[in-house]
Structure 1
Amino acid sequence: MGIKVVPRYGKSFKDKLYLPAIFGGMKTTFSHFTKNFKDVEQLKTMQYPEVQPTDLNERYRGVHRLTKWEDETEKCVACYMCATACPADCIFIEAEERFDEHDEKRPKEFKIDLLECVFCGYCVEACPCDAIRMDTGIFSFTASSREEFVLDKKALMANDRSKDLSDD
């Protein structure tokens, strides 16, 4: 097998200075600037967060929530299907025994790390009892520390959009 020699471009002094490439980029930038400066009304800039996006459809995946039964207890049975399906490995569940009429076990701890989550929706698809959803409509979240991005069971159950949507 022979060695393939690839010719190197840009051997001239003019190409080594990169000035033509820099001026070409500046020309493009300046043309966009003048076009936008002349017609400010056509700019597609949104004054976020004062103006919220309106083009989100019903399939948008927002922050997670845990659904509840009518007696305000969680529907999750701690089967670990969501944690197993998660490609980012950002769901942490610790199970405990349950002593009510719903199921045999429930999550003692249920945490989702939003900084590791890729919002793929696999956890929602994997859940056999429709206990986790991503339909809160919360698409922007901020915090001052990393720990605030880890949502626990209490925070996930508080993300409920409304009582009538939880039983879809």
Structure 2
Amino acid sequence: MADSTGKGRGRSPEPRTTKTAMGATHDVQNFDVDSDEDKNALEEFFAPVAGFGVTMASLFRPVVTEQYPFEKKPTAPRYHGRHQLNRHPDGLEKCIGCELCAWACPADAIYVEAGNNTPEAQYAPGERYGKVYQINYLRCIFCGLCIEACPTRALTMTNDYELADTTREKMIFEKDQLLAPLRSGMLSAPHPMVEGTTDGDYYRGAVTGPTPEQVDWVREHRPEDPSLESAADPGRAQGGKR
């Protein structure tokens, strides 16, 4: 049965033959632009129900939403989070201010300024230490190339990922924010190196903790230093060189 336009409703499109400029012929399929109007009434009725079917099926699946920040999921052991400047077992800093981490950073997020160690202010084994150390976390891409470049394993990455803040200035972390906290038995720098050692002994792990001579030096120059309490504990084994 045909409609007013002469087109059959519900019929399949009929092919027609066309000729190209080179004289070849090929079949072209005719499409009915009014075919969308011929939807089955039953399909139109159940179309919204099909959409709700996806919603209803999801209601009975296990919940995967994490209730952050009230419930925090542990990160992977090797997760690339906030950086940390590490210490030697006696409390001296591992960073020697070589700036290799800054040179390796592809985002130019690290700034290092080295300072010279002196007998009165020995912060790290050897001649120099990281006097200024900054990481701009607005630039950092957490690639870990700075970790690979560090020759003393002074710089590592923690599992801390909560770095958001309210101003751009607070996203530039200073050395006091990146420096690892003192562990029990460590002496806060500055203080002399273990007597009879070189910086190579420190890097090879020969130093296991502060010695009585180091404790006495800190007690003489900084008698109120809070790290003296644990470092001078008689019940704790004294460190030194292996």
Q: What is the TM-score when the length of structure 1 is the normalising length?
A: 0.70
Give the 4+ runs in structure 1 shifted more than 4 A.
Answer: 26-32
CA distance in 1, matches of 2:152, 2:49: 58
Query: Do the aligned partners of 2:107 and 2:140 also contact (CA within 8 Å) in 1?
Result: yes
1:45-99 per-position Cα deviation (integer Å, ceiling 9, x unaligned): 0100111113x22111110000012343321111111011111110001111112
Report the secondary structure of 1:42's partner residue: coil
Q: Does 1:104 align with 2:127?
A: yes
Structure 2 residue aligned with 1:133: 156
Q: Counterpart of 1:51? A: 71
- The answer for the alignment partner of 1:5 in structure 2 is none
| Counterpart among 178, 184, 192 of residue 156 in structure 1 | 178
Mapped partners of 1:61, 1:142: distance in 2:
16
- Which of these two proteins has the greater Rg computed from alpha carbons? 2
- For residues 103-125 of structure 1, the C-alpha deviation after alignment (integer angstroms, 9 at most, x for no partner) is 11112210001121000111111
Identity of counterpart residues, as a percentage?
Answer: 33
SS state at 1:83 partner: helix
State the number of aligned residues.
Answer: 136
Cα distance in structure 2, aligned partners of 1:124 and 1:140: 20
1:18 aligned partner = none
Aligned CA distance change for structure 1 residues 32 and 72 (closer, same or farther; 3 Å): farther
Distance 2:99 2:51 in 1: 51
Q: Root-mean-square deviation (CA), in Å?
A: 2.8
Matches of 2:177 and 2:86, distance apart in 1: 12
Query: Structure 2 regions of 5+ residues with no counterpart?
Result: 1-32, 35-47, 185-204, 206-242
Q: Which has the higher contact order (CA 8 A, sep 6+)?
A: 1
1:42 match:
62
Q: Could you list the runs of 5+ residues in structure 1 that have no partner in the other structure?
A: 1-12, 15-25
Give the helix-richer structure, 1 or 2. 1
Q: Does 1:123 find its partner at 2:146? A: yes
Aligned to 1:87: 106
Cα distance in 1 for residues equivalent to 2:50 and 2:89: 60
Q: Separation in 2 of the partners of 1:88 and 1:29? A: 46
